[in-house]
Amino acid sequence: MPKNKKVEYLINFVGILAVFGILVFFLDTGILGKQVNYIRGIVTIALLTIIMVTSLNLTTGFMGEFSLGHAGFMSIGAYSSSIVTLALADSNIPNMLLFIIAIIVGAVVTAIMGFLVGIPALRLKGDYLAIVTVAVAEIVRVAFCNFAITGGGKTLSGIKKLSDVHYVYVVMIICVVIMYMFIRSRFGRAVKAIREDYIAASSSGINVTNYKVMTFTISAMFAGVAGAIYAHYMTAMIPNTFSFMKSSEYLTMVILGGSGSFTGSIIGASVLSALPELLRDFASYRMLMYSVVLVLVMIFRPGGIFGTYEFSLIRVLKKVFGKNKGGADNE
Amino acid sequence: MSKEAPVLQAKNLGIQFGGLKAVNNFDIEIGKSELVGLIGPNGAGKTTVFNLLTGVYQPTEGTFFLNGEKMNGKLTHQVVAAGIARTFQNIRLFKKLSVIENVKVAFNKNMKYSMVSAILRTRKFWKEEEEIDKKARELLALFHMEHLADNIAENLPYGQQRKLEIARALATDMKLLLLDEPAAGMNPTETGELLEAINLIREKFNISILLIEHDMSLVMNICERIVVIDYGEIIAKGTPEEVSKNPKVIAAYLGE
């Protein structure tokens, strides 16, 4: 590993720890008083939304294919993990381990589903993935409404509350880092090349279908992780939560933040998931506001607020301390 | 020309779209480090031949071999893996990626580190990435483009984009390069530079080239042999002098 990269990773790690410290400071020292549980909830939802939006960005922003059923994959993760943790409820597995099991189950099951959906849909060129994902999400929703094991249309409840905000933060960081490392490697390069021109990509020796299915599977997998977190935070859910509206909400966040930018996804997700909570009184106007903002962004910044820009802690530090060595991009 | 197995050998190659025979009975042999020109009037089927040779279309008739290996039925990326690379008539770069990334994409097929390696940033990852970075810069230097490495590809001037496309094709480490009208839209100076670049890569990489071109001065200048097609069929073959005197060729271009 080149030495300057080592330093960069170290600085970023410190940055991540610092944010964690701020989180602990606000949530655990009682500085927020009675509201702390409410805030903790908002933060948890924001964190899992970050995973959702970043993973959707892999498909939409980096690969350039529309997925309109991401909430469907989230529900697969949510239900599969809940079924497993409900079955394990009486065993004496510690909560943290159970949480990890839930996430792994959610990730694996959803990845398999994503793989199965991706193989036929991504062989075709064009907007087929969008249509297929809408259909799959709908099928999943209706199926979960009818299976006895998923509650059969009634609320599936009694799920253990495992999604502690600290764990969720760690999981979020791991997920985003994995996706970031994926994009900043030969795999990500190939995926971006496919987005730019799939004919040229295949003429450069890239197996277009393979890379697309790979990316879509990873994208679905992390939606499953977010689903598992969601289920074990809410402790009860109905399939209708994961409707088309939910999917389009995530897509809005991707597009607003900037398709092809991790920074955009992270900020888009945190702001847009926390905002409606903070502006509770206007919550019913949320979708209206979304559409207005979306139209404005489309007119003035077609690439999203951040475009493909990535925030770099190193660059900021260099600017602050006036060392201009020419910065490499990093999160 | 050597008499060992030719780099490219097409036998009776043809494709039919419905009732239209776009290419018919196409035979060609290209030896090691030979440069062959493929010319013909507009709509004669030149690009279709390229699409056949790169697996974009599957031939409905005939076969073709690369170094004796049968290539029928292979998909584009498999053909590239076997060693046929191409450029496009209307430039197809990865527009939003940087110049060096454009080249690195083409190196991908020779890179081996796994996804786990990429995510954990293992030593293997860094070693390969550094190697590829060095190779890509060397390749750009060959085209006098190393100072442009971090520019976004779509911001390059036209002539440079053409050269970048050739550099990208070279990065796939191929044995046969198909150039589809590389001089289209270039001014004489740029064409001169291109000529230089083509000569340079032939010397340096020892590859065979099949070239489609409308710029006759370029074709007559650098091609050792020329194949002329019209309405999907070969109407003449030979050295530039022979071809330019062939009455069939004159008729095809000028009418009878």
The answer to whether position A115 is within a domain reads: yes
Q: Sketch the domain layout of chain B as residue ranges.
A: 8-93+155-254
Give me the residue from B88, B96, B171 closest to A196, CB to CB.
B96
The answer to whether position A266 is within a domain reads: no
**Chain-centre distance for alpha carbon A107:** 12
Query: In this model, does residue A248 exceed pLDDT 50?
Result: yes
- Are A233 and A163 spatial neighbours (Cβ–Cβ below 8 Å)? yes
The answer to whether position A62 is within a domain reads: yes
The domain tally of chain A equals 1
- Are B15 and B37 spatial neighbours (Cβ–Cβ below 8 Å)? no
Q: Are A202 and B76 within 8 A, CB to CB?
A: yes
- Residues in B touching A192 (Cβ below 8 Å): 94, 96-97, 101
Pick the residue from chain B with its C-alpha nearest to A218: B115
- Smallest CA-to-CA distance from A223 within A64, A111, A97 is with A111
Residue A273 DSSP SS3: helix
pLDDT band at B18 (very low <50, low <70, confident <90, very high): confident
Question: For residue B215, how many other CB atoms are within 10 A of its CB?
Answer: 18
Mutant choice from B52, B53, B77 vs A, greatest count of A C-beta within 10 A: B77
In this prediction, residue A331 carries a pLDDT of 39
For chain A, what is the mean pLDDT? 89
The answer to whether position A204 is within a domain reads: yes
The answer to whether position A231 is within a domain reads: yes
Q: Are A205 and B109 within 8 A, CB to CB?
A: yes
Query: In this model, does residue A184 exceed pLDDT 90?
Result: yes
The answer to whether position A325 is within a domain reads: no
Q: Are B93 and A196 within 8 A, CB to CB?
A: yes
In this prediction, residue A281 carries a pLDDT of 76
- Torsion A309-A66-A217-A124 (CA) sign: negative
Question: For residue B221, how many other CB atoms are within 10 A of its CB?
Answer: 13
Domain residue limits at A50:
12-244
Residue B179 DSSP SS3: strand
In this prediction, residue B4 carries a pLDDT of 66
- Are B226 and B253 spatial neighbours (Cβ–Cβ below 8 Å)? no
Half-sphere exposure of B3 (CA within 13 A, CB side): 0
Fold (CATH) for B8-93+155-254:
Rossmann fold (3.40.50)
What pLDDT, in 10s, does the model give residues A283-327?
A: 777 778 878 888 888 888 888 888 888 888 888 888 887 654 433
Q: Are B77 and A207 within 8 A, CB to CB?
A: yes
pLDDT band at B196 (very low <50, low <70, confident <90, very high): confident
Q: Are A200 and B97 within 8 A, CB to CB?
A: no
Share of chain A above pLDDT 70, in %: 97
Share of chain B above pLDDT 90, in %: 61
CA atoms of B181 and B213, how far apart (whole Å): 5
The DSSP call for residue A141 is: H
- Smallest CA-to-CA distance from B115 within A191, A106, A206, A181 is with A181
The answer to whether position A280 is within a domain reads: no
CA atoms of A227 and A85, how far apart (whole Å): 13
Chain A contact for B201, CB < 8 A? no
In this prediction, residue A325 carries a pLDDT of 40
- Are B126 and A181 spatial neighbours (Cβ–Cβ below 8 Å)? no
- Torsion A115-A120-A124-A130 (CA) sign: negative
In this prediction, residue A215 carries a pLDDT of 96
pLDDT band at A329 (very low <50, low <70, confident <90, very high): very low
Query: In this model, does residue B214 exceed pLDDT 60?
Result: yes
- Residues in B touching A199 (Cβ below 8 Å): 56, 76, 88, 92
The answer to whether position A271 is within a domain reads: no
CA atoms of B76 and B56, how far apart (whole Å): 6
Give me the residue from A177, A202, A204 closest to B168, CB to CB.
A204
In this prediction, residue A315 carries a pLDDT of 82
First and final CA of chain A: distance in angstroms?
A: 17
- Residues in B touching A308 (Cβ below 8 Å): 96
CA atoms of A233 and B239, how far apart (whole Å): 77
Distances B227 to A2, A137, B63, B208, B218 between C-alpha atoms, Å: 51, 55, 18, 15, 15
Q: Cβ-count burial of A30 within 10 angstroms (0-12 exposed, 13-18 middle, 19+ buried)?
A: exposed
- Are B163 and B194 spatial neighbours (Cβ–Cβ below 8 Å)? yes
Q: In what order do the strands lie in the sheet with B225-230?
A: B84-86, B176-180, B208-212, B35-39, B225-230, B233-238
- Smallest CA-to-CA distance from A72 within A134, A152, A150, A146 is with A134
Lowest mean pLDDT segment, chosen from A34-38, A186-190, A215-219? A34-38
